[in-house]
A and B are shown apart, each in its own frame.
Chain A
Amino acid sequence: MGYQLSKQQAAEMFQKLSKTYDLFAPVRKKGEGCFSDTDVIRYEKVSSPEEIAWEAKSDYSFKEALLPINETLFYFTEDETLVPKAPAKARLVFLRSCDLHGVKRLDEIYLKNGYEDYYYARIRTQTKFVLMGCPSSCQSGFCVSMGTNRSDEYDAYLKPAGEVLYADFHCPQLEAYAAETGAAQAGVTPDYVTENHEKVTLPKKLSNESFSNKIWEEYGNRCIGCGRCNFVCPTCTCFTMQDIFYRDNEKNGERRRVWASCQVDGYTDMAGGLSFRKSQGDRFRFKVMHKIYDYEKRFGYPMCVGCGRCDDVCPEYISYANCVNRLAKEEEAHEE
């Protein structure tokens, strides 16, 4: 059911929601971008609609709301371990359609891929999603190509328009918060785009030869291995483990898991000193193949949701989208 909330009603709804939920939404952090006097839009707790960056795609995806960048798995003493408690509040995560499709990918990896991940599951089961519409396409996204431009899997949909906030609900519990404010009912359907500036064609079939395509070396020579593409990606799920021994008493400490990047040195390091994919080109190939081939082979649909963030963030102007298009073109030519 849809509603039209006045500014006051919206504020009241957010206030009440904040009592039950931690609201995670994209926020424009002024001056916290990479360069002086530039902003970054990333996820943070909010308590009012005004704090949310509705106007642009976030630079970093929603995933840190479900999968903290650093997460302590347990604390240890000499003879005991202690698992930290789950967050006290349930979560509401504000995201766009591409990212909502990203949630499916995270779930696939952390919940349905063998053992369920305890830490992810305990946050995820308490999380509801609020869709933010896209009235027009962002510059780099290719959600239409990836079929992620629409989603009905939301619990709520919110859209600010001037002094009012439109809302639509699939989740009756959340709907109650809007109804309580006495907001008028209205027909509300989510905004979504039907065409992007960027269009991507996935290769229909990748030949074995594509493994040694010159493309990888070319991009490898340009890549600086910073890992930004992975860290902004809503579907990258890799982490690494860190055991920390507290300085004042090294018999105590904690085990953390921390986001990892397949582009950054150390990703393939193994005990005994072995290391694979040493060249940046090999790493880049691995990443692209994982997004468009390996994952699909296993789960039946491509991993990439086409948000375009990796293209936006790359300091070396490497375009994943263009790379995939080049691959598709070459493979097509190869077929013929």
Chain B
Amino acid sequence: MGLDINTKKAKKNAFRISKERGMGASRIRVPGGYLNAEILGMVQEIAQTYGNGIVHLTTRQGFEIEGIRLEDMDEINQKLQPIIEMLEINQTDPGSGYPASGTRNISACIGNNVCPFANYNTARLAKRIEKEVFPNDLHFKIACTGCANDCAKVRLHDFGIMGMTMPQYDPSRCVSCQACIKGCKSLSVDALRMENDKIIRDTEKCVGCGVCITKCPTRALTRSKKKYYKLTLMGRTGKRNPRLGKDFLVWADEENIIRIILNTYRFVKEYISPNAPGGKEHIGYIIDRVGFEEYKKWALDGVELMPETILNECLYWDGIHFDNKGK
């Protein structure tokens, strides 16, 4: 009896159809790449029972259990259930595995659970965004990174969320040691200088990375109570026109960023090409086609920015064009 598999359904169910006939891989999403080590044992068990014993750590911080037989998909979905529950993944039908795969795992750098430079808990935000956007078949890539170092490479994502902090300066605690100035110059953007033995911050240059704060030996420089984020838009890899995401909002807040992401789902639903192969079209190409002004209208619906948030009204992307050579 031949294998009769609905591959479209299987792919939406987070299985990969592999090179080898009849074989596939099971993809496990781990928002923020943050998980209880107990899950590793569960992954191991599935890999050894149903797969070839090999697990790939995916570029989006999930697991891909390789060498599974496509006819075992239902059984594997049962085995995935405790993992899905432990990671609190939104699900429509328990025991049926992942309800979608278009919107990819929300990835994140290690964040302020561990990293001294991170400006927020990236895993927490990744989980929160996952809760808001998943399941969805639309092809969205979202990533969170703790600071302007961008270890999570969020500029290669449709939505990049970069942690920022607004340095708070108390001149009465400052001893003019210049550790902040030296730190900013060597590790960041050289936005600080000294005048009358006190620090002046060039607010146009400052990227809110927080290096000055970690360098300050007296707590003259501290983090803002409010957590700030930079939202970069429409970075991507790909065959036609890979490019880095551009700053859309600077000094933005979490709520508005989530609103913009959800608004973008509505925008894509409205404008996605009916001919998109597998219903998959990078948002960036849709914006290229529709125009940024129209996108902005949709994105900012119901968004009330804080007074300190900088909104870049016009975004132009460059990047390498492989799609118009010789034209």
Contact = CB atoms under 8 A, between A and B. Distances in A.
A35 B174 CA distance: 18
Contacts of B121: 37
Given A226-B215, A245-B196, A247-B196, A32 B175 contact: no
A56 to B, nearest CB: 16
Q: Which of B146, B173, B177, B219 has the most CB of A within 10 A?
A: B177
Given A35-B116, A226-B217, A69 B210 contact: no
A244 B197 contact: yes
Interface stretch (A86-94, A105-113, A259-267): A259-267
A244 B222 CA distance: 24
Contacts of B279: none
B241 interface: no
A70 interface: yes
Contacts of A36: 112, 118-120, 146, 163, 165, 210, 223
B254 to A, nearest CB: 14
Contacts of B163: 36
A231 B217 contact: yes
Interface of B: 112, 116, 118-121, 146, 163, 165, 171-179, 195-197, 210, 213-219, 222-223, 225
Contact of A264 (B165, B172, B177, B196): B177
A40 to B, nearest CB: 6
A37 B176 contact: no
Interface string A213-249: 0000000000000111001000000000010111100
28 contacts: A31-B223, A31-B225, A32-B223, A33-B219, A34-B116, A34-B213, A34-B214, A34-B216, A36-B112, A36-B118, A36-B146, A36-B165, A37-B112, A37-B120, A68-B172, A69-B172, A69-B173, A69-B175, A70-B172, A70-B173, A226-B217, A227-B217, A242-B197, A246-B196, A247-B196, A258-B175, A260-B175, A264-B177
A243 to B, nearest CB: 9
B112 A70 contact: no
Interface in A19-41: 29, 31-37, 40
A87 B119 CA distance: 38
A60 interface: yes
A244 B195 CA distance: 9
A58 B215 CA distance: 19
A283 interface: no
Contact of B219 (A32, A37, A68, A242): A32
A227 B177 contact: yes
Contacts of B210: 36
A35 B175 contact: no
- Which 8 A-B residue pairs are closest in the complex by CB-CB distance? A36-B112, A32-B222, A228-B217, A242-B197, A244-B196, A264-B177, A259-B175, A226-B217
